[in-house]
Amino acid sequence: MKKIYIDGQAGTTGLQIHERLKNRPDLQLLEIDPALRKDPQARRALMEEADLVFLCLPDAAAKEAVELMLGMDTKIIDASTAHRTHPDWTYGFPELDAQHKKAVQKARLVANPGCHASGFISLVYPLVLGGLLKPDTKLTAFSLTGYTGGGRKMIEDYEGNKTEAMASPKAYGLTLSHKHLPEMKTVCHLEQTPLFVPVVDDFAQGMLVSVFLDPADLTEEGKKLTPESLYQFFSKWYANTNIQVHPGQPALFSNTLAGSDQMELFINGNENGYVLNARFDNLGKGASGAAVQNMNLMLGLPEFEGLVL
C-alpha cells in the first residue's frame, strides 16, 4: 500500500485530491494534526514516511517545502506554478506524447500543469511538434473558467458575498502577463509569448480554452489542412488517451465536463482560419484530476484509477 501525504490539504486542490484518494484501498493517506499543519518538523516527518507528496501550496511555500524535503527520495507532485518550467522537473501532461508519458512514469519531481495552460498546450503542442504551426507565431487565446479556479477567497466571494457585477463575466489578466504564460510558451516550444486573456464567470466548475489560428501562421504542410484533416490529425495524436477529439460545433458551453477528469477538443475552421477549443473541468483535468493521474503513473498504478472519465 502506497503512502500519500497532501501538504496543503485545506486548499481547493488539496481537498479535491483528498476526495479522490480517501476511499482507495491501494493507498494510505497520511494525515497531519491540524494544529501542526504549519510545523516544519511535523510535516517533514510525514514527508519522509510518504511514497509521494502532493504540494498544494502557494509558489513560495511550495519552494520552501521542496527545500524541507532535500535528501529524501520521496516523489513530489507540485500543483503550484513554482516548478513548471524548471529543467529539473518533469511537466505532468502524459497525453502529449509517448515521451512525456514515459518521463512522468520515471520522474521523482513532477510539476502539475496549470488549468488554462492545459487547454492551450493540448491544442498547440501537437501542431508545433507535428510541423504544422510555425514556432515563431504569436498566438491569440482566451479562456472561460468557473470561479473555483480562483481559490478559497474567490469561492467565498461568489458563494457568499456576490455583488451584482459578479453575475456577469469578468476578464482579467489584462496586463497580458498571466502566470500560466511561461509554461504555455515553453512546453509548446514557441518563440513568442502568446496573447492570452482569461474570463471568469458565475459558474462553479468548467473551462473552455480557445486558440485562434491564422492560415499565414501555418507551415507549408499546415496550409494543406482542412477542418476535416485537422480533426483527423488531432484524433490520431490523442488516440487511446482520456482526451476526446470532436469535429467543430457552432456553439459550446464551458461547464459540460464539470465533475469529470477528461478533456474534449473541438476543431472549427474555414478558409479564413481556425478556432480550436479545449473543454474540461478546471478542478479535474485542470488541477486535481491531472495530479492523481500523474501520481498513478509515478507509482506504477493504473493510469486512470480513481478518476471520472
104 close to 75: Cβ distance less than 8 angstroms: no
DSSP string, 34-97: GGGTT-HHHHHHHHHH-SEEEE-S-HHHHHHHHHHTTT---EEEE-SSTTTT-TTSEE--GGG-
The answer to whether 115 is a known catalytic residue is: yes
The strand ranges marked E within 93-206 are 109-111, 140-146, 170-171, 195-201
The answer for residues whose C-beta is within 8 angstroms of residue 34's C-beta and 6 or more apart is none
Q: Which of 3, 114, 122, 117 is nearest to 54 (CA)?
A: 3
The answer for residues whose C-beta is within 8 angstroms of residue 158's C-beta and 6 or more apart is 147, 166, 202, 204
* Choice among 53, 104, 115, 297 that is catalytic: 115
Instruction: Find cell 507551415 and name the residue.
Output: 219
Secondary structure (3-state) at 32: coil
DSSP string, 212-258: EE-GGGB-TTGGG--HHHHHHHHHHHTTTSSEEEEE--S---S-TTT
- 33 grid coordinates: 494534526
Residues annotated catalytic, as ranges: 115
